[in-house]
Amino acid sequence: MWKDQERLRAAYYDKVRVTGLFIKNGMRNALALLGHEVSTKDEESWVYEVDINKHLHQVEMYLKFPTDLKLPQHRVHIRGLRAAYDIGRFVNVAGQGRGCWLKFTVGDFNHLANESGFVIDMAWRDQTWADNGFMWDNEYPQFTTHVSEKFLVSSEPVSVRDFLAFVKEGGYEKEEFWQPVDFKFFKDQGHKHPATWSKVHGEYYVHSVDSTDHWSKVADQPVFVSLSEAEAFCHSVGCRIMTDSEYHQILQSGYATKVHKLRSDGWEWTSSVFQPFPGFKPMVEYPEYSSDFFNSSHYVLKGASPLTHPKMWRDSFRNFYQQQYPFVFAKFHCCKNM
């Protein structure tokens, strides 16, 4: 549920400045992708700010630049303004008696142009405060998982080519493949293909961080979709999404070399609800990092994406997103019981 302003501000202005570092490092790397290198002095001068908008029920994170930031090749010149880095809005889910946090699209950010002048939302790539011994609180205590039934899993993740066939066959219009709440959501939003695709003159194009390609050029690459879309595809071929226990079972059984791209080339969706391990204790440095999301509406992702920092490449790492959220570098394998 929507929290009071004091709790929200404490979460986003945490004691050890984790979120501020997260935001600054993300902006630094985003600017680097645009060909602009940031000096340590300039980065230290950036001011991290948070606005709690109680009227719109959203948290707005900004970076303020005391000196001019110029990117002439992109026609960007920020003169003492704030750049909107990330915004999350809390909304009620109709008929479910709960709420969820939504991330905004590029189109939503355009409404902030008069205030911010510049919008970048980029994955965090930090090298300053985390070390190889660091773990988030949701990664421990360790415990043993057990998979009671034998299962089969595809050797390759579902590709752009595979998912395009689902799209062209009207998969988004076939209600029998979807959970009711997901079918309604995608129908109401008018989505008929992944959010990172575009359809132009009848042809599909796939967008990545640094390029846009005709689907045929990336046909064999893993498709990035929401969990809802992944589940719908699996249902259309008589399969399902693996659980996080099954994911670890594959790693421990020696079959990991036969199940390709399990740890890499994109986060791996699982059907497991993000919840605390037995004996969970919130970390002192950032107590709300995990606990705020143990709400039965977030699901576990394993592995790593192409933009995940190497310090996060470990089998214990658990990412988490809501099932309908489409802007994740997340792939999936098809799984089924034997």
For residues 68 and 194, membership in a common domain is answered with no
For residues 216 and 301, membership in a common domain is answered with yes
Contact 108/86 with Cβ under 8 angstroms?
no
Q: Around Cβ 91, how many Cβ atoms within 10 Å?
A: 13
pLDDT band at 156 (very low <50, low <70, confident <90, very high): very high
Q: CA 261 to CA 169: how far, in whole Å? A: 26
Domain range holding 77?
Answer: 5-116
For residues 157 and 82, membership in a common domain is answered with no
Q: Is residue 258 part of a domain?
A: yes
Q: CA 67 to CA 80: how far, in whole Å? A: 6
Domain boundary among 86, 116, 146: 116
37-46, 73-82, 105-114, 223-232, range with the lowest pLDDT: 105-114
Q: Is residue 130 part of a domain?
A: no
Mean pLDDT for the stretch of residues 32-40: 82
In DSSP notation, 4-15 reads PHHHHHHHHT-T
For residues 107 and 144, membership in a common domain is answered with no
- Asked if residue 121 has pLDDT above 50, the reply is no
Token output for 59: 């948290």
Q: What domain count does the chain have?
A: 2
For residues 245 and 325, membership in a common domain is answered with yes
Contact 299/269 with Cβ under 8 angstroms?
yes
For residues 38 and 150, membership in a common domain is answered with no
For residues 234 and 304, membership in a common domain is answered with yes
CA atoms within 13 A on the CB side of 152: 7
For residues 194 and 299, membership in a common domain is answered with yes
What integer pLDDT is reported at residue 65 of this predicted model? 81
Q: Is residue 222 part of a domain?
A: yes
Q: What is the CATH number of the domain that holds 306?
A: 3.90.1580.10
Q: For the chain, what is the mean pLDDT? A: 81
pLDDT tens-digit readout, 292-332: 999 999 999 999 998 888 878 899 999 999 999 999 999 99
Between 87 and 179, residue with greater pLDDT: 179
For residues 84 and 157, membership in a common domain is answered with no
For residues 210 and 327, membership in a common domain is answered with yes
DSSP state, residue 2? P
Q: Is residue 131 part of a domain?
A: no
For residues 170 and 33, membership in a common domain is answered with no
H or E element, residue 151 = strand 151-153
Q: Is residue 121 part of a domain?
A: no
pLDDT band at 85 (very low <50, low <70, confident <90, very high): low
- Burial tier of 337 (Cβ tally within 10 Å: 0-12, 13-18, 19+): exposed
Q: CA 15 to CA 155: how far, in whole Å? A: 44
pLDDT tens-digit readout, 191-232: 999 999 999 999 999 999 889 999 999 999 999 999 999 999
What integer pLDDT is reported at residue 103 of this predicted model? 46
For residues 105 and 151, membership in a common domain is answered with no
pLDDT tens-digit readout, 165-183: 999 999 999 999 999 999 9
Q: Is residue 132 part of a domain?
A: no
Q: Is residue 88 part of a domain?
A: yes
Contact 113/80 with Cβ under 8 angstroms?
no
* Residue among 19, 16, 17 nearest 292 (CA): 19
CA atoms within 13 A on the CB side of 210: 9
Task: From residue 187, give the alpha-carbon distance in Å to each of 174, 183, 235, 306.
Answer: 10, 6, 18, 30
66-70, 149-153, 310-314, range with the lowest pLDDT: 66-70
Q: Percent of the chain having pLDDT more than 70?
A: 78
Domain boundary among 116, 148, 176: 116
pLDDT tens-digit readout, 239-298: 999 999 999 999 988 788 899 999 999 999 999 999 999 999 999 888 889 999 999 999
